Every structure is written in structure tokens, then in C-alpha cells.
Amino acid sequence: MPPKRILIAGALGVIGRALVDHCENDPDIELIGLARRRPEFPTRAEFRSVDLLDRADCERQLSDLGDLSHIVYAAWQPRPSRREEVAPNLTMLRNLMETAGDGAPGLRHVTLLQGAKAYGSHLGPFRTPARETDPRHMPPNFYYDQQDYLSELQQRRDWSWTIFRPTFVYGFAVGNPMNLTTVIAVYAAISRELGLPLRFPGTDAAYRVLSQAVDATLIAKAILWAGESPQARDEVFNITNGDLFRWSSLWPQLGKLLDMAVAEPQRIPLVEQMAVHEHVWDGLVAKHGLKPYRYRDIVSWAFGDFCFNREYDHILDTTKLRRCGFDGCEDSYRMFERQLGFLREHRIIP
Ligand SMILES: NC(=O)c1ccc[n+]([C@@H]2O[C@H](COP(=O)([O-])OP(=O)(O)OC[C@H]3O[C@@H](n4cnc5c(N)ncnc54)[C@H](OP(=O)(O)O)[C@@H]3O)[C@@H](O)[C@H]2O)c1
């Protein structure tokens, strides 16, 4: 197989970091990570601190990366509205492709991350199971602008692309934690410290709807598969762990895993009510000698509020991905077990 030199944009995010970790011990892969920050964990990846919104910075730092074989675009910037997200997120992709991409004559493949928002999952109930061929919702949606830009650019280039649409991603990242693993872990630790049972903090209806999850490491495996698979060329794929669950069945299992009693759901506006418990978290960090990450850097209560109050099924059909040859899957309970073990082992939660 030709050598792999992979540039990961957004390498400190929940998806990008999982890919860095997954490739860490593969001697056949050269890795370049890109984000504005530096990594706070040991890695053999070469890191570049670049602001993708700054074209001059990109030209200065990314035009000489040479023989890249793959680009994985897992960067993104939230904005207060969907409309405001379009311009910066399109500019970031454009700046990357027109510097690092155009400076790499051997570039073979580009992976772009989207998500269930491509189906309008953020707007309310959407057609389920969602299929890759479903029509777009009424824009704005920066995913559409990025996809159109990439498809158009590729007409004049030699590489192919693959787009992944993960369901809710579970993994670990610091600073932009759109990730329920740390939401649940920190919420559970504070509940325990306050002598409370582990209550599902969303609505009763949200407790009972069908859900899916995807392990960030499974996405990493799929990205590596796509980079070398003819069946993945210029294709869009949904990706999930492969199983379905309702919080009503998984939550009691999480209680056992965390050794906590579980009580009936009770809606708690997490953003508002968990803000006042920062000192409890700081106390836990000191008491258990945990890594001193800032409260706001390891948990996003807003993301928790969004996920735990969704009162409609959230199902992505993944038969296309399997039909095309990627057979990875994960059991969502086992994923939690492993990820909570990781967080404990790395002294991130008690
Ligand atoms: N997390 C989920 O549940 C989920 C689910 C479905 C789809 N997705 C999609 O997957 C993609 C990646 O999401 P994610 O959750 O992994 O993102 P994330 O955790 O928020 O990470 C975003 C990454 O982008 C980097 N970044 C942001 N602005 C940058 C800039 N101006 N220049 C350079 N780097 C920049 C960040 O690092 P710095 O801050 O250091 O720059 C970080 O490494 C997004 O399109 C998202 O919509 C995510």
C-alpha cells in the first residue's frame, strides 16, 4: 500500500482526537494534527497551531506539507445561529483545501464530517430511519455549503472524497466537549457527591424514544477504511454503533456501572442548574487528584440539555455503509464501560 501521510484538521476535537489516538501506534501512518491549540496529551503526531479562518496563517503554515495522501476535515466552529455558521465553516474548509490540499500533489482522499443535522435533526422530528438519499432540509446548513464546495472543487482535482454522518458521538476531548460521555460522567460524580441518585435529567418522553450512539473510535476506523476503499469514493455514509437503545433501558445499566442507585427521570435544565455546582467539581478534582481541566472545558451542559430532552426518535440507517464493506460495530453499553474506564484511568473523573 502507498505511504499514508494524513492531515487531520480539528485534531483536538472529539472525532479528530479519536483518530489521532487510533493511529498513534500504526508505524505506516504519518500524522499531522491541526488545531488552534496545542495538544495537552502526549502524541507522536506533528502538530500545527493554525487558525483556519486566517488565510495568511494557512498559507504560511500549510502550503509546505508536501506529500499528504489524505486529509480528514473534522474541524468546526459553532455560532449562535445556523445562518451565522455558514460563512466561517465554509471559509475554514476552503482555506485548508486551497493551501494544504493544493500543495499536496499526491493527495488521494478527503474525508468530511457531517452529522444528523444534515437531515434536520436539530429542527425537530425528522424522517427515520434517515437515509443518505433523503432530500435536504430548507437551508441554511453549513454541511450543504461545504459538501457543494468540495464536490465542485473535486471536478478539477484528482482526489476522491467521503462524507460521514455520525449520530451523537461519544469520546473524549477537552475544550469543545460536544460529547455525552463526559456530560454523564461529571453529572454522575456531582450527583454522588451531593448524595443524590443518578436521575435521568431530561423529560420522560425523551427517556423513552429510540436513540443511537457512535463511538468516536469507530468513526476513526471508518475514516481509515474510507481512505483506501473504492466503494467509499465520493459517497456519503451514515455511521452509528449499529445498535439502538432507549435511555429507559440503558440508564439503569449506567447506574450499575457507576455503582449508583437510579431514580425516575426528572427534568433539570442542566445549563442553569449545573453551573452552580462548579465548586463541587473543583472539590472532587482536589480530593481525587484529578487532572485540573476547567469545568467548562470537559463538559457541555448545553449539549446535555439538547440530547436529554429530544422527544423524537433519532435513527440513522447504516445499511449503505455495511453494504459497501465497512463491518465495524460497537455495543453502546460496552462503549460506555470502556470510555468511563478510560476517563478513570486517565484521572479525568473519580
Ligand atoms: N460531536 C458530535 O456529537 C457530532 C455528531 C455528529 C456530527 N459531528 C460533526 O463532526 C464535526 C467535528 O465535530 P467534533 O464534535 O469532533 O468537533 P469539536 O470537538 O468541537 O472539535 C472541533 C475542532 O476544530 C478545531 N477548530 C475550531 N476552529 C478552528 C479554527 N479556526 N482553526 C483550526 N481549528 C479549529 C478545534 O480546535 P481548536 O479549538 O484548538 O482550534 C477542534 O480541534 C463537525 O462538523 C460536527 O458537526 C459531531
Across the range 329-346, mean pLDDT stands at 96
- pLDDT value for 3: 81
Decide if 48 contacts 68 (C-beta within 8 A): no
How many other C-beta atoms lie within 10 A of the C-beta of residue 207? Answer: 20
Q: Quickly state the pLDDT bin for 178 (edges 50, 70, 90).
A: confident
Please report, rounded to a whole number, the percentage of residues in the chain having pLDDT higher than 70.
100
Average pLDDT, the chain: 96
Q: Which fold has domain 4-169+213-239?
A: Rossmann fold (3.40.50)
Give, using CA atoms, the residue closest to atom 10 of ligand 1.
Answer: 113
CA distances from 84 to 56, 136, 142, 163, 274 (A): 22, 19, 9, 22, 28
Domain ranges of the chain: 4-169+213-239, 173-212+244-313+330-346
- pLDDT value for 75: 98
Using one digit for the tens of pLDDT, what is the confidence trace for 81-99?
999 999 999 999 999 999 9
- pLDDT value for 158: 95
Using one digit for the tens of pLDDT, what is the confidence trace for 106-160?
999 999 999 999 999 999 999 999 999 999 999 999 999 999 999 999 999 999 9
**145 or 66: which leads in pLDDT:** 145
**C-alpha span between 30 and 295 (Å, rounded):** 33
Q: Does any ligand 1 atom lie closer than 6 A to the CB of residue 243?
A: no
Which atom of ligand 1 is closest in space to residue 54's alpha carbon? 31
Cell matching residue 287: 480530593
Using one digit for the tens of pLDDT, what is the confidence trace for 257-304?
999 999 999 999 999 999 999 999 999 999 999 999 999 999 999 999
Q: Quickly state the pLDDT bin for 2 (edges 50, 70, 90).
A: confident
- pLDDT value for 175: 87
Distance 249 CA to ligand 1 centre (A): 30
Ligand 1 site-directed mutation target among 90, 178, 215, 239, most atoms within 8 Å of CB: 178
Distance 13 CA to ligand 1 centre (A): 5
**C-alpha span between 236 and 246 (Å, rounded):** 27
Indicate if the pLDDT at residue 169 is higher than 80: yes
Indicate if the pLDDT at residue 64 is higher than 90: no
Distance 43 CA to ligand 1 centre (A): 19
Please report, rounded to a whole number, the percentage of residues in the chain having pLDDT higher than 90.
97
HSE-CB of 142 using CA atoms within 13 angstroms? 22
Indicate if the pLDDT at residue 1 is higher than 80: no
